[in-house]
Amino acid sequence: MADLMAGTALPCRRTALKAGLAAGLTGLLLPTVIACTPEDRPGTVSVAGGEPGGFYLEFSTLLAESLQRHGVADNAEALETGGSLDNLEYLLTGKATFAVALADAAAQHAAAKNTPNVEIAALGKVYENYVHCVVRKNSGIRDFAELAGRTVAVGEPGSGTSLTTPRLIEAAGFSSTAVGAAVPSVPTEKTITVMNLGLNDGLAALRGGSVDALFWSGGVPTAAIAATNKEVGLGLLDLSALIPSTRARYGPFYDRVLIPEGSYEGIPAVWTVGVANLLLCRRDLDDATVTRTVELLVGHAEELIPRSSLGVQFLSPESLIHTAGLTLHPAAAAAYRTLHG
């Protein structure tokens, strides 16, 4: 088996939903989640998710329902949050048992070590995140370079998007300035004005014309983007040319992935930046809960696919263990070895 303690993100494919589940689990004796008594399971667990209308919260809700349905915990709930950075804080402070987060955000936390004696570990890569750069179809904007001198929404503070987007802007050779800030010293034609707006507020601003583009990192399709596209007509910009410089500056978390044609009505296929999305827990979470959760991810993967999804990546042990270099919880690594040999 590939090294269970590290990995790189795999390209997403629409066929992963069915083919991955069938092929990836071939020959694997799928477990029923090990039965546990009320005395040896947690009373309540929580999954830090994301914004309404986004993939994080949809996945986290499905996971919470499945954790409760199969007796991993007596009660389980999904939490609305701002996204990856918020979710890491929820884990560190004990407000959440599990969290979903982008690999680059998790790696930044691990490098910073801001919270002594608290370590975060991965249970698996649950899917690929796609960075969307969304513009109105009638805007005339067809290339990232055409965002110079314009205003863009770069994610709500606390979201993974608010970490990834500034990195892409910098990698492109642009500077950024916040709305209302002093006039920058660099030439205006190389500056992008940014607003910290999340998915729903950003889409409202895009509809109203107060921003020219919205950055969002999520699954494909993202329901709120699909709905807005039907309302006003949207386009997506190709971001893949930014990957080499972004990787050179910030590490190997960024991959070239395709948003397939048909993901959003009337929008052609477009290459963009992909970042692995991980399911995380604290290193001190008990082994039994970790083991049962891994068994759930493998044995009941079909329950964890958001209905709108075209590119989910958590359907087999092969994809789950590719955690972009973040260390698996030891009990998770042991569970994958037991399940896959």
**Is the confidence at residue 5, as pLDDT, over 70?**
no
- Residue 179 has what pLDDT? 80
Bridge partners, residue 128, by sequence: 276
Give the model's pLDDT for residue 317.
74
Among 17-26, 128-137, 281-290, which stretch is predicted with the lowest mean pLDDT?
17-26
- Other Cβ atoms within 10 Å of 251 Cβ, number: 16
CB 280 within 8 A of CB 91: yes
Please state the domain extents for the chain. Answer: 14-127+277-340, 130-275
Q: Residues near 159 by Cβ (< 8 Å), separated by ≥ 6?
A: 50, 51, 82, 83, 84, 85, 86, 198, 217
Amino acid at 168: L
285 and 308 Cβ atoms separated by less than 8 Å: no
Q: Taking each helix axis from N to C terminus, what angle separates 103-112 and 161-171, rounded to the nearest 10 degrees?
A: 90
- May I ask the CATH architecture of the domain 130-275? 3-Layer(aba) Sandwich (3.40)
Does the pLDDT of residue 36 top 60, yes or no? no
Query: How many of the other CB atoms lie within 10 Å of CB of 262?
Result: 13
Region 306-310: mean pLDDT is 67
How far is it, in rounded angstroms, from Cα 41 to Cα 61? Answer: 20
Fold of 14-127+277-340: D-Maltodextrin-Binding Protein; domain 2 (3.40.190)
Residue 341 to residue 323: CA distance in whole angstroms:
18
Quote the Cα angle for 150-85-207, to 5°: 35
Does this chain's domain 14-127+277-340 share its CATH topology with 130-275? yes
pTM: 0.82
